[in-house]
Amino acid sequence: MMSRKLLEESRDGYLDNENSPFLISNYGYGKDSVKVMHVVRNGLVHTIKEFEVGTKLKLRSQKDYLEGDNSDIVATDSQKNTVYLLARKHGLTSPEEFGILLCHHFLGKYPHVEEVSIHIEQYPWSRIGFGTGPYKDLHNHAFVYEPTALRYTDVTQKRTESKPTVISGLTDMRVLKTTQSAFVNFVDDEYRSLPDQHDRVFSTVVRSSWQYSTVTGVDFDYCWNKVRQCILNNFAGETEKGIFSPSVQHTLYLAEKQVLETIPEISCIDMTMPNKHYFTFDFSKFPKIVHETGAKEETVYVPVDKPAGIIYAQLDRKSDQHVKSKL
């Protein structure tokens, strides 16, 4: 796990001396993979949050690089300790809020720090439940790891900026539906071998990130869950009939569009949906066996994930063109 690269590299750079042909065009340092768990014990009911945190600082001076002078360095071990101390003092709420807290701390504590970048991944712990439906009995202090999607955030702030840039996202959300998907009427020329597919298996691993236009009064947990819900709604549709997908591109666009329509605090969103193909197995070479067993060709598929088509797009608000996208 790596914290996000510090944004907007300096194009002027820093010479190691006036006559040098070389310059430092970008720099920074920090601590990656700091694992922290916070437990809240409210009587018999316990609640947990577990994060993996990466910190990165950019200092005003480059004398640590150019002269070997370490006097301005906030040691990466000190950055690690800061994660635990702030978690102890403030607890862990959302990854975004903790990332903003860390940015404010490093910029407020160290006047020679010019920029801070924080990357946080949240571990997907869920309370164990027994039973079904609304009558499920949730356990007071036992949890299960359910990695259906990985939640992360990148929070970056420069000293010259009044507020941090918050980019959140999800990765590794694999979904599949067995019908209500087609791909037809695409370019037909001498390079084409793929036939029209009027009813196919549609599977992908969704990665998406989005940028907030504000950080004031935002319920980041609600927003993350709502984005996930928008993606699943436009992929799957209602439970009985589903929703038809004429292409991955159209499904991706509808999901992004619904996110911007329902969450005004998000200024732009990007999404990637690689195809995870499932091709029908060719039983034509086994007619005797197929005839005897009555096997249906369409019930057996060969999963093929490489090579894979890759579909992506970013959707912005026209009204937020003044908000520079850093996705």
Q: Output the domain CATH number for residue 173.
A: 3.10.270.10
In the chain, the number of structural domains is 2
> What value does the CA radius of gyration of the chain take, rounded to a whole number of Å?
25
Task: Count the helix, strand and coil residues of the chain and give each as a percent rounded to the nearest 5.
Answer: 25, 35, 40
Q: Is there a binding annotation on residue 183?
A: yes
Alpha carbons within 13 A on the beta-carbon side of 131: 7
Phi, psi (degrees; rounded to nearest 5) at 265: -75, -10
Domain identity same for 137 and 177: no
Task: Give the per-residue pLDDT at 11.
Answer: 43
Q: Is the dihedral of CA 10, 83, 124, 232 positive or negative?
A: negative
Domain identity same for 104 and 206: no
pLDDT tens for the chain, residues 1 to 327: 555 554 554 444 554 556 778 888 899 999 999 999 999 999 999 999 999 999 999 999 999 999 999 999 999 999 999 999 999 999 999 999 999 999 999 999 999 999 999 999 999 999 998 877 666 789 999 999 999 999 999 999 999 999 999 999 999 999 999 999 999 999 999 999 999 999 999 999 999 999 999 999 999 999 999 999 999 999 999 999 999 999 999 999 999 999 999 999 999 999 999 999 999 888 888 888 877 766 666 688 999 989 999 999 999 999 876 677 888
pTM (predicted TM-score)? 0.90
Q: Is there a binding annotation on residue 228?
A: no
Q: Is there a binding annotation on residue 4?
A: no
Residue at a domain's end among 109, 135, 162: 162
- Residues annotated as catalytic (active site), given as ranges: 31, 76, 277
Q: Is there a binding annotation on residue 202?
A: no
Q: Which domain holds residue 137?
A: 26-162
Q: Is there a binding annotation on residue 258?
A: no
Question: Residue 312 falls within a domain, yes or no?
Answer: yes
Residue among 246, 234, 308 at smallest CA distance from 276: 308
Domain identity same for 312 and 181: yes
Residue among 116, 105, 125, 101 at smallest CA distance from 48: 125
Domain identity same for 113 and 128: yes
